[in-house]
Amino acid sequence: MRTPIIAGNWKMHKNVGESLETARQLEERVKDSSVEVVICAPFTSLAALSALGLSKVKLGAQNMYFQDQGAFTGEISAGMLLDVGCEYVVLGHSERRQIFQEDDELVNKKVVKALETGLKPILCVGETLEERRAGQTEDVVVSQTKRGLAGVAADQLANVVIAYEPVWAIGTGENCDAEDANQVIGRIRGTLAELYGSELAEQVRIQYGGSVKPGNIKEFMEQPEIDGALVGGASLDADSFTAIVQY
Ligand code: PGA
Ligand 1, CB within 6 Å, residue ranges: 9, 165, 170-171, 209-212, 230-234
C-alpha to C-alpha distance for 18 and 179, rounded to whole angstroms:
36
The minimum-distance atom of ligand 1 relative to the CA of 210 is 5
- What average pLDDT does the segment 64-81 reach? 98
71, pLDDT greater than 90: yes
245 contact partners, CB below 8 Å, separation of at least 6: 6, 30, 33, 35, 37
57, pLDDT greater than 90: yes
Which ranges in the chain belong to alpha helices (H)? 16-30, 43-51, 78-83, 94-99, 104-117, 129-133, 137-148, 178-196, 198-201, 217-221, 238-245
Range of the domain at 18: 5-245
Distance between Cα 218 and ligand 1 center (Å): 17
What digits encode the pLDDT tens for the residues 95-143?
Answer: 999 999 999 999 999 999 999 999 999 999 999 999 999 999 999 999 9
Do 205 and 227 touch, CB atoms closer than 8 A? yes
pLDDT of 209: 98
Do 16 and 45 touch, CB atoms closer than 8 A? yes
Any bridge partners for residue 8, and if so which?
Answer: 39, 231
**pTM: predicted TM-score of the whole model, two decimal places:** 0.98
What digits encode the pLDDT tens for the residues 31-48?
Answer: 999 999 999 999 999 999
Q: Which residue has the higher pLDDT, 53 or 1?
A: 53
CATH number at residue 147: 3.20.20.70
Of the CA atoms within 13 Å of residue 101, those in its CB half-sphere come to 0
Residue 215 DSSP SS3: coil
Distance between Cα 70 and ligand 1 center (Å): 32
Q: What are phi and psi of 167, to 5 degrees?
A: -60, -35
pLDDT of 210: 98
- What average pLDDT does the segment 215-222 reach? 98
pLDDT-derived band at 8, boundaries 50, 70, 90: very high
User: Long-range contacts for 214-220 (Cβ within 8 Å, ≥24 apart)?
Assistant: 214/240, 214/243, 214/244, 214/247, 216/175, 216/178, 217/243, 217/244, 217/247, 218/247, 219/178, 220/178, 220/181
C-alpha to C-alpha distance for 220 and 227, rounded to whole angstroms:
9
The minimum-distance atom of ligand 1 relative to the CA of 94 is 8
pLDDT-derived band at 213, boundaries 50, 70, 90: very high
pLDDT of 1: 84
Domain count along the chain? 1
The minimum-distance atom of ligand 1 relative to the CA of 230 is 9
pLDDT of 149: 98
Q: Give the residue numbers marked as catalytic.
A: 93, 165
C-alpha to C-alpha distance for 245 and 247, rounded to whole angstroms:
6
pLDDT of 196: 98
Q: Tell me 139's DSSP state.
A: H
Which ranges in 100-216 belong to alpha helices (H)? 104-117, 129-133, 137-148, 178-196, 198-201
- What average pLDDT does the segment 173-188 reach? 97
pLDDT of 227: 98
